[in-house]
Structure 1
Amino acid sequence: MKSKKLAMLFGVVFLSLVLVGCSNNSKSQNSTSQTFKVATSDQIATLNTAKYSDMISLEAMDNAFEGLYRFDSNGKPVLAGAKSVTKNDASDVYTFKLRTNAKWSNGDAVTAKDYVYAWQNLIDPTTASPNSQRLDPIKNAQAIRKGEMSPDQLGVKAIDDYTLEVDLEAPISYLDELLTGAPFFPKNEKAVAKYGDKYGTTSAKTVYNGPYVVTGWTGTNDTWSYVKNTKYWDKANVKLKRADVKVVKDTSTAGKLFQTGKIDYTILGNEFAKQYANTTGYHSKKIPLIGYLGFNTQRSVTGNVHARKATAQAFDKKSLVKNVLNAGTPLNGIVPTDFAYNSETKKEYRSQAGNMITYNKKAAQTEWAKAKEELGKDNLTLELLTSDTNEAKQVGAFLQSQLEQNLPGLKVTVRSIPLKSRLAATTAYNYDIVYGTWQADYADPVNFISDGGQYHLNTDYKSEEFWNDLNKAATEYATDPTKRWETLINAETHLIKDDAYTAPVYQGSMTYLLNTRVKGLTISPYGTVLFYRDVELNS
């Protein structure tokens, strides 16, 4: 999940996929294999839970690690690493009893100290985690992120080896969903000490406590496997012994591999959506996945608010989803539709918040004229950074054409590079504008407003009103759904409408192909991440 959970795409975002004409998957050459064969759109970037900001890495972590909770086959959070939980009368202190039979893949016991170490490591400003704000509901987290307190003052404590106490800033209704996320997974301190900066950079330099271990990932290669973890506490209920994953960036190739039985699952590109919509094995669903543009506010042009507002309004979102992506819907705020509902009023967030920024050529050109005047230049050049998947490159080409056509004097270059390199470039501020996709971890607007793929939000976005609104939503209005909702809408207004720190582009839909012999595959309720824990393969 910043640029976070930037980032990014599983297959490719919005993807309309296709179950390439495979009328009888039981006839495929995989029919007798007990290995689940999966195609994905890019490489793993990291296995360090404090460092990820892309969906490929997140999927690896969700299958190889386990936190206090996990999602079950119905997409609901259930206890996992914890066997029981209690809370105080104020609902702001939770006590978790951990499973005493939970082990790391190196044989070490998974203890409360592993959670304390992982959370303190992630919130430490020196770690520079793109997901540090995810811990904000925990007591003192915001102050620690800002350098005002030390990491050991975070509201998490090991009472004993198997008792973990979590102290919140204020009660929240979605704590169980929040704690399913990778930022809240434990971490084996002994392994981190052993591998140092290399921890999580290869499968061999990582230890795991989830249903699978990652094997065969060198840090740069296009294939790896998830192999059943023999040390996992609930291994008896893990049916699948192995899943082999390969990177297939070309959507046509992925379709052919599926059609010939060489893979069991793939997300395919947008160009196949209509062609294969009626094919056996084709699945499609609307998901809270967004496409967005992130701006490097440290550079002169994209540091100018008028330039950002101009860019955010200068491309036709309807044309993009209709003619390029062939799926999804235009998005005019950072929070997607049909995602979060007020527990008191039952109102859907996006409909209540309304449009923050839309395609408006006239308004874009007015803002562009102001930007050029302030910058003292009539001709400007911007680089748009994307990943090198087919769909990302297509979106990049569309945006390039639209921006150059609608903003006089603008020259846009597109740089498309592998996802891992793209993430490194954004972290190092080596970009003007970055196009990426992002999906949620839990069903609350704050997941997008305070995260949502927005690179360097914690350090570079200086709006006091925004940060005050988020603080009030997390504390003063934590138990008042109506006021909390209004405050979050104010925060989104500052972020998107007033300052255009990020530009929403579209909301995606997921279309995929799945071999009919595969049973029990669960997909994240908030995106495209696959959970292999309950998979079974029919012969």
Structure 2
Amino acid sequence: MKKSLLALVGTAIVGALFLAGCGKSSSTTSSSKQVLTVATSAEMATLNTAKYSDTTSLEALQNSFEGLYRFNSKSKPILAGAQNVKVSSDKKTYTVTLRKNAKWSNGDAVTASDYVYAWRKMVNPKTASPNSQRFEAIKNGTEIAAGKMAVNKLGIKALGKYKLQITLESPISYFKELMTGAPFYPQDQKIAEKYGSSYGTTASKTVYNGPFVVKGWTGTNLKWEYVKNNNYWDKKSVTLKKVNVQVQKDTSTAAKLYQTNKLDYTQLSTDYITQYKKTAGYHTKSIPLIGYMSFNVHKTTTANVHFRKAIAMAFNKTMLTKDVLHAGTALNGIVPANFAYNSKTGDDYRKDAGNMLTYNLKAARKQWALAKKELGKDKITVELLTSDTTESKQVGEYLQSQLQSNLKGLTVTVRSIPLKSRLAATTAYDYDIVYGTWQPDYADPVNFISDGGQYHLDDDYNNTNFRNLLNEAATTYATNTNKRWSTLIKAETQLIKKDAYTAPVYQGAMAYLLKDKVKGLQISPYGTVLFYRNVHIK
């Protein structure tokens, strides 16, 4: 991947989100056991930090691994695997002293070379990591990911067994937040090399340095456990002994299990939000998660810009959030609202950038006519790929209905498959249009503009103006807040409004049920991922 990472202008207004129930339901697990039972809506795809691109895998990684920093109970980044960090006067070089008492779950010491090994693997083109763009901020990260430079030129060095040196391309103000992300976790080099391509494909072929270890995941099963890691350096701060996780793709089933005290936590989706909103333990929260459609630009139909614009403007987003999702708001750009703020003016980026692609039938039909003319077809059939969760299938069916009704001559077939298969299909270009959701890793517009879950953005979207704008924001205007801000808006305008590379669908809101006895459960400030480190059962 070959994007340029940009210096932070705004910071999202995020705080700790402690999930506290309000009911008095009894529990299947006694508090003395400190065991939590939760549901997730999709299967896990991997435990390899270099390979994940789904939320379930991310949640597993963020609870079983630890990087240089982690979020505390107030959602602020604090030192974790790092004991001390010193920054150079030009803000580009970080010298990190690691904790000498940090160990892997097999007893190996967590060393500087484990970070160097993992980071180099992330940017190595042979790895084909879906998250290599996160390393644009690290010196030479972009060139290495593009195959233009050797991996040992990445701006990370082991100065000793427990000392790291990290060099950036340009100063960034969100270094701590960036380092909390799973792509920046270390890997036990000895174990990763032992298992090779099968590393991270099962719980037993992975070792962990976080508060929990994963048990019972075979790579395909729908149940697993997070068990307290007795080799974790700060294990005395972890009260919870075990988290039982089960995949429940059907929200109705999960909600019923919650009501019969067989689950302590579950998310709600679509119609079940209305049905269970008066249930004890019901909560809702707006989050910077986005729903979007991405197009396979290697296929003639979806490569046509008029076709993409027609699709992007031909469905009623407000109706989707009100009548199907029962949560969230319409999204008319790739960056969500109430996420990133201009540090000089305090203004919300989304308000400054304005609407890019709105629901507009007149404009959509004009683009549709142009698309049919250029493609030489009066009738067009495309496939919409979704995961097989209840919510994804319902969104897919809604989009199918709207698009077919509003664009004469269009036929949309929907293919809903397990998330792991959907991710593999998109990686292999086995799709026309794919619907998915994505949540950010740090609070800056560029996280969405240069990533945002947009499939193959680095490989397939080579608009010169877009790339130049990103580079200007990362270099020329890196420390000029207002100019950088306006440059990012121009980049998003090129990507979304002019080229419709991606079709924004909605901004999400999280609804969930949680038992009153569960204290200290935290949601990531950037989405739906749960942190179990501070949980205790009352």
Normalised TM-score (structure 1): 0.95
- Indicate yes or no: 2:309 matched with 1:309: yes
Tell me which residue corresponds to 1:385: 385
- Indicate yes or no: 2:269 matched with 1:273: no
Shift in CA distance, 241/393, structure 1 to aligned 2, threshold 3 Å? same
Supply the AA of the counterpart residue of 1:273: I
- Indicate yes or no: 2:213 matched with 1:213: yes
Tell me which residue corresponds to 2:144: 144
Deviation (angstroms), 1:330? 0.1
Matching of residues 335-346 of structure 1 within 5 Å: 335-346=335-346
Supply the AA of the counterpart residue of 1:28: S
Tell me which residue corresponds to 1:189: 189
Tell me which residue corresponds to 2:447: 447
Cα shift readout 1:174-230 (whole Å, capped 9, x = no counterpart): 111011001100011111111111011000111111111101000000000000111
- Indicate yes or no: 2:50 matched with 1:55: no
Tell me how far apart the structure 2 counterparts of residues 118 and 473 of structure 1 sit (CA, whole Å): 28
Supply the AA of the counterpart residue of 1:467: R
SS of residue paired to 2:205: coil
Cα shift readout 1:228-276 (whole Å, capped 9, x = no counterpart): 1111111111110100000011111111100111010000222122233
SS of residue paired to 1:239: coil
Tell me how far apart the structure 2 counterparts of residues 305 and 29 of structure 1 sit (CA, whole Å): 54
Deviation (angstroms), 1:375? 1.1
Tell me how far apart the structure 1 counterparts of residues 515 and 192 of structure 2 sit (CA, whole Å): 38
Cα shift readout 1:310-354 (whole Å, capped 9, x = no counterpart): 111110101111111111100000000000011112111000000
Supply the AA of the counterpart residue of 2:523: I
Tell me how far apart the structure 1 counterparts of residues 432 and 286 of structure 2 sit (CA, whole Å): 30
SS of residue paired to 1:321: helix
SS of residue paired to 2:476: coil
Tell me which residue corresponds to 2:6: none
Q: Is the 8 A contact 1:22 1:259 kept in 2?
A: no
Range that drifts further, 276-285 or 429-438: 276-285
SS of residue paired to 2:301: coil
Tell me which residue corresponds to 2:487: 487
Normalised TM-score (structure 2): 0.95
Tell me which residue corresponds to 2:87: 87
Aligned residues: 519
Tell me which residue corresponds to 2:161: 161
Tell me how far apart the structure 2 counterparts of residues 178 and 342 of structure 1 sit (CA, whole Å): 18
Range that drifts further, 58-67 or 148-157: 148-157
Q: Is the 8 A contact 1:88 1:94 kept in 2?
A: yes
Matching of residues 35-114 of structure 1 within 5 Å: 35-114=35-114
Tell me how far apart the structure 2 counterparts of residues 478 and 168 of structure 1 sit (CA, whole Å): 12
Cα shift readout 1:23-43 (whole Å, capped 9, x = no counterpart): 422x23334553100000011
Matching of residues 343-422 of structure 1 within 5 Å: 343-422=343-422
Tell me how far apart the structure 1 counterparts of residues 147 and 477 of structure 2 sit (CA, whole Å): 25
Query: Structure 1 segments of 4 or more deviating over 3 A?
Result: none
SS of residue paired to 1:301: helix
Q: Percent identity?
A: 65
**CA RMSD, Structure 1 to Structure 2 (Å):** 1.4
Tell me how far apart the structure 1 counterparts of residues 145 and 521 of structure 2 sit (CA, whole Å): 37
Matching of residues 195-206 of structure 1 within 5 Å: 195-206=195-206
Tell me how far apart the structure 2 counterparts of residues 345 and 268 of structure 1 sit (CA, whole Å): 36
Tell me how far apart the structure 1 counterparts of residues 147 and 472 of structure 2 sit (CA, whole Å): 20
Tell me which residue corresponds to 2:524: 524
Q: For structure 1, which runs of at least 5 residues remain unmatched after alignment?
A: 3-18
Deviation (angstroms), 1:519? 0.8
Deviation (angstroms), 1:22? 9.1
Matching of residues 447-526 of structure 1 within 5 Å: 447-526=447-526
Tell me how far apart the structure 2 counterparts of residues 464 and 162 of structure 1 sit (CA, whole Å): 42
Tell me which residue corresponds to 2:11: none
SS of residue paired to 1:119: helix
Supply the AA of the counterpart residue of 1:292: Y
Q: Is the 8 A contact 1:440 1:452 kept in 2?
A: yes
Tell me how far apart the structure 1 counterparts of residues 177 and 224 of structure 2 sit (CA, whole Å): 28
Matching of residues 283-294 of structure 1 within 5 Å: 283-294=283-294
SS of residue paired to 2:203: coil
Q: Is the 8 A contact 2:216 2:225 kept in 1?
A: yes
Q: Is the 8 A contact 1:440 1:526 kept in 2?
A: yes
Q: For structure 2, which runs of at least 5 residues remain unmatched after alignment?
A: 3-18
Q: Is the 8 A contact 1:116 1:157 kept in 2?
A: yes
Cα shift readout 1:256-312 (whole Å, capped 9, x = no counterpart): 100111010000222122233233211111000000001111111111111111111
Tell me how far apart the structure 1 counterparts of residues 223 and 394 of structure 2 sit (CA, whole Å): 25
Supply the AA of the counterpart residue of 2:438: W
